[in-house]
Structure 1
């Protein structure tokens, strides 16, 4: 039976964060979300038909954003019912909702759990007000602690995650140590760690250009990353992907689909899909997305059919992000020997520089390699 993952983009936020380059819009009235989910319903019907998805099994559902925790339980319930009518759900299905402090309380947590949501991913970024303010987050430290306390007190979610960000202006080791103390106090089963990365489109990019010296720098970030890995390992966390750590059994099944280069369907504005070896992307503005749906057109505006060399490079890069690494035998079974041999020469070169190592037929990034992973990936793409 064909299994896929499903991603639903909810593009509404209380306010736009200063570092965010995801497609999102101000949440001005409840009708905007209900209207959007009506359009999502239409897209689901179009995509199910166009992409021949009538008989697939969903192994994971991920509501990302934006701020999906702004969605009412009633709307979420209706959409999950619709999905059950169109697809089979795996017995071990993972259903994740991303949430921000200030948009979720104990009552809503209980309602989401009652609907079958079994995983929450909470966007925290920092436990310190001055960093939250700098990033443009719409909540403060007190709301972060309130949400985590309520979540734990309900006892309804064994599987949940939050993320923190490092590499912020004026951030010191002492500041980061405080963040880690809060993390270890709450002991989330899953944790994501990101350094501040600013695209050219975001407001903080201008600040970065003017005040570059205020940012810690790559050497500091590398030392923080290494230190954090060591601390988390002591407390039972395993780094299963470059930016993601989990206690055994709490790895994010949905994200593993991406890193294992498996199929997924993306619904909503700007969402991406990977089906039948084709990468697809929806219209990137809400008006364009809605217009296409209302005209009974697929919202997919770009399709990229990868050749074997591109597929091989992508699969290797995605696999190297994980602790599973690249499996040599699988490559030879899937791709022409000449292409695989060419890439293995690259991996051997990386191994001589101690950026990766081979273990039982798998090529895995070393701790040193994770620090320059993007550079290695660019070489694999060439």
Structure 2
């Protein structure tokens, strides 16, 4: 049966990938003996419009954090938010503009003005506002920007002041994602963060004092080295007191090639054990829900109406543009990423301008599309829309999924709901399948692997 594991989440959307989770040995599962195989054929992806969301990767940081494996450019710890234009930033921005301009869209499909734009990194708040303005102007010229667009930017404490934030707000930035991570000085130092607790509170004051900018998110990380439940409770309390409209809570993932990857092994001291990590996740869910935040995605909480519209593009498996070093796109049923090294990315842009790179519409394996839909849906509070899944992949496969999950409805890890989103136990009335909060979310990898074993036996 299922075993208790640390929560495993998709990372913040810097370079989005669909991980193919490892299967659990079938001997350990109670799955149906007969599995529908009608997702084994190739299908043409349904017709989709040109993406209406764009992710812009701005890779600059003052230093690399000990847990970070994203493609970044370290400018140096002394780099300040008031520094004059750094040629590394200017040159990269020009390269980014070239990539956007060279992007080919489907001329047979009506274009849709961008509904969401997300500046991620890296630390985008290190980029001068006039360069952000140049990027927005290029996006507006190339794709158009909706009048009610959500424009998000990631910002780190100590990398911006009130003047810079006001400049960004005047450009149209209307959502800030503040990378706090922890409220303890010793934990911030252990992470290699370039800011301290004093800068955290200064940043919160700047964000909350910006006229017209009410939509802002705070990022926190759990399962850090030497982090105790008392420390985590304090960070959650401080987050709630700051009253952000959105909170993202990420469990530390120790990646190979990072400093943490060299120092630590997951589950071994000074990192929390798997059970301790699970407790931290439960604490976050309880604390934030009690404070009026909706747990709408496995690592995301928000006040009513403040879901991150851009990230919902990913969770709903909609197409999106990605621009910049290491970024990913999902266009015409095709997922592809840019190079993670600057020299290779520069060459990529050159070839794109010369027409040597094309991302044509492809035929997708139905089972791969089905696995993407299931994995993304089950990481949200809405869950899997069974009727929509039936239309795409057939009723037989949907029935097999329901049968596979029935034992976990009984154990409380999976929830079946009817069209009114009322819990049901009868498989014939199931309109939505979701994971329970927090126990089902905690075991999302295993539960999603069960679905994968049904889709691709």
Q: TM-score range by the shorter chain?
A: over 0.9
1:306 maps to which residue? 364
- Please, which runs of 5 or more residues in structure 1 have no aligned partner? none
Q: Which moved more, 1:182-191 or 1:353-362?
A: 353-362
Q: Secondary structure at the match of 2:326?
A: coil
> 2:440 matched to 1:369?
yes
2:118 maps to which residue? 62
Larger Rg: 2
Alpha carbons of 1:233 and 1:365: their partners in 2 closer, same or farther (altered >3 Å)?
same
- Cα distance in 2 for residues equivalent to 1:50 and 1:297: 18
Alpha carbons of 1:142 and 1:371: their partners in 2 closer, same or farther (altered >3 Å)?
same
Residue 337 of structure 1 and its aligned partner are, at CA, apart by 3.0
Alpha carbons of 1:301 and 1:15: their partners in 2 closer, same or farther (altered >3 Å)?
farther
Alpha carbons of 1:2 and 1:198: their partners in 2 closer, same or farther (altered >3 Å)?
same
Alpha carbons of 1:201 and 1:255: their partners in 2 closer, same or farther (altered >3 Å)?
same
Residue 364 of structure 1 and its aligned partner are, at CA, apart by 1.1
- Cα distance in 1 for residues equivalent to 2:128 and 2:108: 30
> 2:266 matched to 1:214?
no
Alpha carbons of 1:59 and 1:218: their partners in 2 closer, same or farther (altered >3 Å)?
same
Q: Secondary structure at the match of 1:20?
A: coil
> 2:140 matched to 1:84?
yes
Residue 151 of structure 1 and its aligned partner are, at CA, apart by 1.3
Pick aligned residue for 2:69 from 13, 18, 21: 21
Query: 1:64-213 counterparts in 2 under 5 A?
Result: 64-209=120-265, 212-213=268-269
> 2:76 matched to 1:6?
no
Higher helix content, 1 or 2 = 1
- Please, which runs of 5 or more residues in structure 2 have no aligned partner? 1-48, 77-84, 419-430
Please give the per-residue CA displacement for 1:317-374, whole angstroms capped at 9, x wherever unaligned: 1011111101111111222333333333323343233211111211111121111111
Please give the per-residue CA displacement for 1:61-109, whole angstroms capped at 9, x wherever unaligned: 0010011111111111111111111112223210001111111110011
Does the aligned pair in 1 maintain the 2:296–2:302 contact within 8 Å? yes
Q: Secondary structure at the match of 2:103?
A: helix
Higher strand content, 1 or 2 = 1
Aligned length: 382
Q: Which moved more, 1:337-346 or 1:225-234?
A: 337-346
Does the aligned pair in 1 maintain the 2:51–2:321 contact within 8 Å? no
Residue 3 of structure 1 and its aligned partner are, at CA, apart by 4.8
Structure number with the bigger relative contact order (C-alpha 8 A, sep ≥ 6) is 2
- Cα distance in 2 for residues equivalent to 1:14 and 1:353: 47
Alpha carbons of 1:144 and 1:334: their partners in 2 closer, same or farther (altered >3 Å)?
same
